[in-house]
Structure 1
Amino acid sequence: MAGERQITAVLGPTNTGKTHYAIERMLGYRTGVIGLPLRLLAREVYDRIVAVRGPSVVALVTGEERIVPPRTQYWVCTVEAMPEGIGPDFLAIDEIQLCADPERGHVFTDRLLRARGTQETLFLGSDTMRGVIAELVPGVQFVRRERMSTLSYSGPRKISRMQPRSAIVGFSVDNVYAIAELIRRQKGGAAVVMGALSPRTRNAQVEMYQNGDVDFLVATDAIGMGLNLDIDHVAFSSLSKFDGRRMRPLAPNELAQIAGRAGRGMSHGTFGVTGEAPALPDEVAEAIMEHRFTPIRKLNWRNARLDFGSIDALISSLEVSSDDMLLMRAREADDLMALKSLEKQAEIRARASDGASVKLLWDMCRIPDFRGISHAEHASMIENIFCDLHERGRVPDDWMARQVRRLDRTDGDIDTLSKRLAFIRTWTYVAQRKGWVNDENHWRGETRAVEDRLSDALHERLTQRFVDRRTSVLLRRLKQKEALLAEVNDKGEVTVEGEFVGRLEGFRFSADKAETGQEAKTLRQAALQALVPQFHLRADRFYNAPDTEIDFTEQGGLMWGEHAVGKLVAGAEPMKPMVDVFVDEEAGVDVAQKVQRRLQHFIDRKVAALFEPLLNLSRDEELTGLARGFAFRMVENLGIIPRGDVADEVKELDQDARGALRKHGIRFGQFTIFMPLLLKPAPTRLRLVLWSLANGLQEFPEAPPPGLVTVPSGQGLPRGYHAMSGYRAAGERAIRIDMLERLADMLRVEDSRGGFEAKADMLSITGMTLEQFADLMQGLGYKAEKGEREKVKILAEAAPEAEKTEDVSAEAAPEAEVAEDTAAEVAVVEAAPEVEAAEPEVPEIEVYYTFTWAGRQSTRGPRRGGQGRRDQGGAPRGKGGKPQAKGGNAKGKGPRRDGGTKQYQARPPKQDKIDPNNPFAAALMGLKSKD
């Protein structure tokens, strides 16, 4: 493209295709150079040109990368690394408005003033540069490019409500990390882009965003410099930044540069604020939308004609001010600060004594402070490198190897890896400088390999920390409306698209407990959508499962194996409970109905099997009158009724009615009317559940452990609990009702008026100690009187040559004295006068209780033998066991003639005969004769 030399400024807002236009213009020439503001952007443009022209003719030159093929035609560089003096046909500088940047502006201004292509020069940037370019660059032509899509302000928005394909901008590393962490928890993850990242790390993060692995990008203002990403919305988390010297608010044109990343090509974009950032003033928002900004009036400038005669002369030349009012002297940059620091050291001044040495020192000072450490430490590193180069001509290989080797580690967290990357960038920069190391290719390869390994490790750590791959994968598949594949293993673990998302417990999905908030909601949404087929398969398997796999808990829960699938609720009748199923709504109505039917069948069969005697009683049509009414009461009370609650009804039942009821297994006990078959553990467990449901209890009491005759009566138990559990509370303990009736049978033959002591059988049947039995008897309505007496032992000692025998009569030893105890129960025999009497033993004291009927209970106390007895229903019987007619005397001859109540006279106790074979017969006869 031969022609006159032309200079063009292509100005306009973002998304106008300026960079793309420059690349096309450059490729129309045989040679060209393009300067870009960022290493990241340079790499992106390099890759685009290589894709068109191949790597053999394209060079990439940045501070840390130098790829220069032998037949280079096109140079892609950062602005600072642009080669000088090669005379390209075409030259372009992107983001020319950075001439006003406080830190790097002097470099861009120098390129604006001095860099030219032999045939065409392009300056690309904001329209705010039109005025100063027109005054500083004679003969420049301007091309205005309009934005290809609209940009609108959407105001404040919470991160939790941020739309997909959004970029959230922060202005510090800590701020970026905090936002990325929040998005991971709420949205599944975000890619992270910062200027400090290596191109390899940045590209890996951007690719993750571009291909849809994540829908959010968290970045610094580095994205404002030409990075082309598919962003629909840009949100500012802050409106101020630290510029290296102080915190300052961002200018509207700076905000516009970043906001303009939203809406690429013909797609419209929006921008707004989030987090703690205040809403943009109306005038600022309108200026950004209409691309109207205050023109730039002054550019940062530093003298390019340097004097290397001495260090002082170099410093003076760097601090020269411009005569042009549009060019203001740039503030002191890092390279000048390092030079002033080194200039104070005698050894440096001695070495930098000629022009070549001063120029070498200045080259050393221009090593960027990638590490961000103190100026003193940075200057110290520069001093070491300068001394080696000045003395040896090269940086020693062993020293270089030590610096690189200590950084070649991929362990550690994000901050550790980021620091190592910053450090290796220093040595990459050193290796890229021509003539600084012995084997440039070797060290460039070594430092690049270490940087790549650290970059990959950093990308991995960033992804691990800020991306939940599981959630992001599920969200992407949901967004694409594709069918998700869910699998459930035998442990109930649910995986969707190979990612563990939680557990399926019965017919309810429990998301992974490690996730909370929005992330947990997202997981649940994706998992339940994928689990719909699994719910149907599981429902079919459950419907065909045998009853042995289903059970109920003592709190009314319904279990399928170890998982709760429903609960019992009260029905119209106690023995007809209903079922409430535990099925996720997403499973669908069909699944819920199938589970409900299966559980209802289960509980109906369980009630029918365990309460068969009671159901048979309710269905017996032969029962009529009072018997049918009493049968209804039994069914209503689930087969157990304390006799005191129905005493009047029992009295009204005649013997035929009672007989009909007994055929169904009903036992009319003295204390309880019950069906013994229903006292087994299984019916008892279900009865308590049904009773609790019918009474609306919030907390269901548990059944006593099976096999125990007595249990603690407990405190705070609901009224009626002991009866439903098959026990009767009496004192501190409750006794099983069937064993209580056996005890009542034993008590009937005792003298309940005159008093009696507990027999061994009574203690045995209850399994109680004497004190516990006394408490029980008091609870049953007896009065217990405690007493003490001596327990006398039998001593049977014979002559030394005589054998001891148990059959020694009191008459066999005339010298023996017969000791008489208070109860006349035993005799002590002393034999053989020549045997010394043993020392008298201290008698043991035994405790006993005497029980008498106190008449405190509504149920009458047990009758003595001989005073009439009751049948199982408690009806009085006369002689021979025949039933006594109601209201008549014992012989059934009608009412007493005197019309009074029958009187009972106390008879003397029956005299038991003494067995003549008893060895203590003589002693006992003697005691009786004294009575």
Structure 2
Amino acid sequence: MVASAVHAVLGPTNTGKTHLAIERMCAHSSGAIGFPLRLLAREVYDRVCRLKPPGEVALITGEERIVPKKARYFLCTAEALPTQADWSFFALDEAQLGADRERGHVFTKHLLGTRGREETMILGAETLVPMVRSLLPGTEITRRPRFSTLAHAPAKKVSRLPKRSAVVAFSAEEVYAAAEMLRRLRGGAAVVTGALSPRTRNAQVDLFQSGEVDYLVATDAIGMGLNLDLDHVAFAGLTKFDGVRRRRLTTAEMSQIAGRAGRHQRDGTFGTIAGTGKRELEFDPAEIAAIEEHRFPPLTGLFWREPDPGYDDLATLIDDLEAPPNEPGLMKPPEAIDLAVLKKLAEDPAIAGQVGGTRQVERFWHACSLPDFRNYGVDNHARFVARLWQELRGGKIAAGRAAQAIDELNRVDGDIDTLQQRIAAIRSWTYIAERPDWVEQRDALSARAREVEDRLSDALHERLTERFVNRRTSLLMKKMGEDGSSLPVTVADDVVLVDQERLGRLEGFTFRADAEASAEDSRMLHAAAEKHLPRLLGDKARALATRIAETPDAVALADGMLVVDDRPLAQVKIQQDLLKPRILPHRNLVLVPDEPKAAVMGALENWLAARIEPLAPLEKLASAAKDFDAGSELRALLVALSERGGMIPRERSGLDALDPEQRKMLSRLGVTVGALDLFHPAMLKRKALAVWRELAIISGRRLPPLADEMQPVREASKPVPLGYRVFGKQALRLDSAEKILREAHKTRVEAKDKQFILDPSLAISTGMTSDTIVQLMRAGGFKAKDVISLEDGAFGPPAQPRWRWHPRRGGPSAHGTQGKRGGKRGGSRPGKPSGRPRGPVPGNPFAELGKLLP
């Protein structure tokens, strides 16, 4: 890298350091920023894409790679920053992580060696000042103050926490317990832990940011990389296990977490949870002063590991990675998991004997560097890497093998812990699939792995939301007092009776408590009712599933919801593929047990599958669009057809780019290539078009209305109904217009391309007016010869217009395909005939036709 001036911008949270780096990078011709988290890299990538053309912005993490050909701005995790790159600007965010036991050496490497040609920025905490002065003499240091103040507040019980608060705990069990309490007392909480995938974490944060819930429960994962609208941070603990021992948080760690309270000019507070019985759950005065004034002990050293080890053999590689630093201020790091895995596998003669030569040693080291997403620990992770190496040492992992491993994880059943384990496993395969030298068909496998990860993440978000926002829990019910579960609970006409006392009623699957049952002695009765509700709701759900299967007309699709008896049961969601809608259970089903709820959802899925069955032609087109052998031009056309309901104007179809074989394939798929439009005849049926329109509207598209009846000819209206073209005062269904034009071409061929007369019965049989058929013929590329009127007093049959084939440049061709020279100028414009009529013949049914002829 070319040397450049280094500028260190240091300060606490909420000082705008990252925002400054983004502005500086965008002012340069190229640049890169290294981040500590994939989540933060993605957030900034989205921001930069709003400032610069997306084709110039790249995102590179271990599990995601978006690199356009003309990329100039790179947003990366520190580990994924490209080597040997040449940028005008470079910034390293959260550089104080050079003191992290596991990843510190990565940040130290970039701190010391990665530079921009014109400008380099180091972003981090003020504790980094001594190390910057020692390791980077001459660096300009700018201290930035916090935009808002941060103050200590007295301890509060969970029930008294102010809105827009975050509760921070340091184990999954404590997080879940706090979330359950908040759901019971304050209506719900979002959950953020380090074990969540970035997508699930974002979804949970959005739940909080949108105001759907006013509380967030998290581990110290919120301390870095999450910009939250928080007013107060409450610590549920002040000790954590750091991988070696359980210890009290340092004041710098406390400040990193507490600093999430208050954004921009709005002040924030921090404190602890009262009533937990933990003696250590109190800040001492020195810690409070340090956090409020942002004064912490300076860093005395950064971890360093040889960034460019030798790959002559495994012994040389290990020696270089274990070599101590020579420069003061740098420390040898604890053994990271990648080095531990390397050493463990190198001790196995069967594996070490397979690794020979510089390229093999380097490839083996990259395999050992696979992150331990599953938190297996050294021994188990080493076994996983060993199996991976057996496939990598001979070349690339076969696409079929990788796809099978990915598909085995594509299951969304199970509880929260099960889904978290699957997400951790799929993240390993997402990382593997992103390596072009590791797998065959990298692009396809990478997209497949990310799709599975997204699906699992969405399912986990739904489970978390269902459990901590909408669902009652048995844990708190055990603490409510006397157990009333043994009391008899019955339901008669949806009225819930507990020991013959009316407690409320079931409205669908929602329990509405009766206000009269809220006396002081009714606490036990409420507990009994909630204890028995799952069984009662389960019976009702099973009956409903049977009803849906036997009486499909009982279900309706309205405003994106599947409704029975005017009560929504599920929401229809469309993510990317319009033809593959998903359904999510409505909150009305929250209290229904899993097994009967699954029965209802299964019945609704079968109903929806039958509902979209008329869209089979579009599914066939979409499937053919995935066939690489079809060619990019035909695939693009098929995608457009499947996305537009099986019809597209010819001039915008790209038909002229297809070769003869592609056109044959298009015909075999049932697509009619018309003079004015391409369409699939089956999609001009009202049932199919109605279903497609419903799904398109759910996906967020605005579409014209659907005709009440798909008549061949109807009065023109605005907007034009789906499946029609307007010609003057009438609208023709696409296949009806094509039928007339094909008949005209047939007559033209029989006339040997001379002037011909179109059979007038065609207009009469379809209900078209003469004005409509003239405009249709002109739109189709035909021109009429002047009609000579009868002289006054003369009698005889009316003269019919004589047509000849005279398409405009780029207009429709004689055999129903676009000419090679076609373009945007081609074809007449329907609804705007040229010329004025001459010589009308009064009293004749074709008199109006004569008026429109030139």
Q: TM-score range by the shorter chain?
A: 0.5 to 0.7
CA distance in 1, matches of 2:19, 2:524: 49
Distance 1:469 1:30, change over 3 A: farther
Tell me, yes or no, if the aligned pair for 2:194 and 2:221 is still in contact at 8 Å.
yes
Aligned to 2:332: 329
Shift in Å at residue 247 of structure 1? 1.5
Shift in Å at residue 512 of structure 1? 11
CA distance in 1, matches of 2:4, 2:24: 14
Shift in Å at residue 499 of structure 1? 6.5
CA distance in 2, matches of 1:65, 1:449: 12
Distance 1:514 1:168, change over 3 A: farther
- Higher alpha-carbon deviation: 210-219 or 238-247: 238-247
CA distance in 2, matches of 1:52, 1:495: 52
How is 1:155-174 mapped onto 2 (pairs within 5 angstroms)? 155-174=154-173
CA distance in 1, matches of 2:29, 2:445: 32
Shift in Å at residue 282 of structure 1? 0.2
Aligned to 1:182: 181
Tell me, yes or no, if the aligned pair for 2:3 and 2:116 is still in contact at 8 Å.
no
CA distance in 1, matches of 2:190, 2:430: 26
Distance 1:29 1:515, change over 3 A: farther
Tell me, yes or no, if the aligned pair for 2:4 and 2:115 is still in contact at 8 Å.
no
Distance 1:512 1:213, change over 3 A: farther
Give the match's secondary structure for 2:182.
helix
How is 1:791-802 mapped onto 2 (pairs within 5 angstroms)? none
Shift in Å at residue 402 of structure 1? 2.7
- The amino acid across from 2:465 in the alignment is T
CA distance in 2, matches of 1:396, 1:514: 61
CA distance in 2, matches of 1:156, 1:67: 46
Aligned to 1:340: 343
Tell me, yes or no, if the aligned pair for 1:503 and 1:511 is still in contact at 8 Å.
no
Distance 1:506 1:136, change over 3 A: closer
Shift in Å at residue 152 of structure 1? 0.4
- The amino acid across from 1:248 in the alignment is R
Tell me, yes or no, if the aligned pair for 1:394 and 1:436 is still in contact at 8 Å.
yes
Aligned to 1:425: 427
CA distance in 2, matches of 1:117, 1:495: 66
CA distance in 2, matches of 1:52, 1:73: 13
CA distance in 2, matches of 1:247, 1:280: 17
CA distance in 2, matches of 1:515, 1:105: 54
Matched, 1:86 2:85: yes
CA distance in 1, matches of 2:433, 2:363: 15
Aligned to 1:381: 384
CA distance in 1, matches of 2:134, 2:186: 50
Aligned to 1:448: 450
Aligned to 1:109: 108
CA distance in 1, matches of 2:191, 2:68: 32
Instruction: Choose from 352, 360, 364 the match for 1:361.
Output: 364
Aligned to 1:503: 514
Q: Which runs of 5+ in 1 are unaligned?
A: 472-488, 521-931
Give the match's secondary structure for 2:117.
coil
Shift in Å at residue 173 of structure 1? 1.9
Shift in Å at residue 490 of structure 1? 9.2
Give the match's secondary structure for 2:514.
strand
- The amino acid across from 2:466 in the alignment is Q
Matched, 1:461 2:463: yes
Shift in Å at residue 434 of structure 1? 2.1
Give the match's secondary structure for 1:33.
strand
CA distance in 2, matches of 1:167, 1:456: 23
CA distance in 1, matches of 2:85, 2:518: 74
Q: CA RMSD in A?
A: 2.8
Give the match's secondary structure for 1:292.
coil
Give the match's secondary structure for 1:155.
coil
TM-score, structure 2 normalization: 0.56
Question: What is the aligned length?
Answer: 499
Aligned to 1:398: 400
1:389-423 deviation per Cα after TM superposition (whole angstroms, max 9, x unaligned): 211x1012332223212211000000000000000
CA distance in 2, matches of 1:386, 1:113: 32
Aligned to 2:21: 22
1:727-785 deviation per Cα after TM superposition (whole angstroms, max 9, x unaligned): xxxxxxxxxxxxxxxxxxxxxxxxxxxxxxxxxxxxxxxxxxxxxxxxxxxxxxxxxxx
Shift in Å at residue 67 of structure 1? 1.3
- Higher alpha-carbon deviation: 210-219 or 271-280: 271-280
1:220-264 deviation per Cα after TM superposition (whole angstroms, max 9, x unaligned): 112111311000011111112111222122110111011000001
Shift in Å at residue 503 of structure 1? 2.6
Aligned to 1:38: 37
CA distance in 2, matches of 1:516, 1:468: 17
Aligned to 2:294: 291
Shift in Å at residue 352 of structure 1? 1.0
Shift in Å at residue 321 of structure 1? 0.5
1:678-710 deviation per Cα after TM superposition (whole angstroms, max 9, x unaligned): xxxxxxxxxxxxxxxxxxxxxxxxxxxxxxxxx
- The amino acid across from 2:92 in the alignment is I
CA distance in 2, matches of 1:27, 1:142: 21
Aligned to 2:231: 232
- The amino acid across from 1:39 in the alignment is R
Tell me, yes or no, if the aligned pair for 1:15 and 1:260 is still in contact at 8 Å.
yes
After TM superposition, where is structure 1 displaced by more than 4 Å over at least 4 residues in a row?
489-501, 504-517
How is 1:634-653 mapped onto 2 (pairs within 5 angstroms)? none
Distance 1:45 1:309, change over 3 A: same
Which protein is bigger by CA-based radius of gyration? Answer: 1
- The amino acid across from 2:424 in the alignment is A
Matched, 1:319 2:322: yes
1:297-337 deviation per Cα after TM superposition (whole angstroms, max 9, x unaligned): 11111111301111011000001111222101001000000
TM-score, structure 1 normalization: 0.51
1:638-658 deviation per Cα after TM superposition (whole angstroms, max 9, x unaligned): xxxxxxxxxxxxxxxxxxxxx
CA distance in 2, matches of 1:502, 1:45: 47
- The amino acid across from 2:284 in the alignment is P
Tell me, yes or no, if the aligned pair for 1:502 and 1:512 is still in contact at 8 Å.
no
- The amino acid across from 1:105 in the alignment is G
Tell me, yes or no, if the aligned pair for 2:165 and 2:232 is still in contact at 8 Å.
yes
Aligned to 1:307: 310
CA distance in 2, matches of 1:269, 1:507: 39
Matched, 1:414 2:413: no
Distance 1:52 1:349, change over 3 A: same
Tell me, yes or no, if the aligned pair for 1:128 and 1:296 is still in contact at 8 Å.
yes
Distance 1:499 1:208, change over 3 A: farther
CA distance in 2, matches of 1:358, 1:97: 31
CA distance in 1, matches of 2:124, 2:108: 13
CA distance in 1, matches of 2:176, 2:374: 19
CA distance in 2, matches of 1:357, 1:299: 31
- The amino acid across from 1:429 in the alignment is Y
Shift in Å at residue 375 of structure 1? 2.0
Aligned to 1:244: 243
- The amino acid across from 1:313 in the alignment is T
CA distance in 1, matches of 2:201, 2:234: 20
Matched, 1:149 2:148: yes
Aligned to 1:683: none
Percent pairwise identity: 48
1:7-60 deviation per Cα after TM superposition (whole angstroms, max 9, x unaligned): 111111111111111111111112111111111111111111122224322211
CA distance in 2, matches of 1:273, 1:314: 48
Shift in Å at residue 139 of structure 1? 2.3
Distance 1:4 1:339, change over 3 A: closer
- The amino acid across from 2:421 in the alignment is K
- The amino acid across from 2:514 in the alignment is R
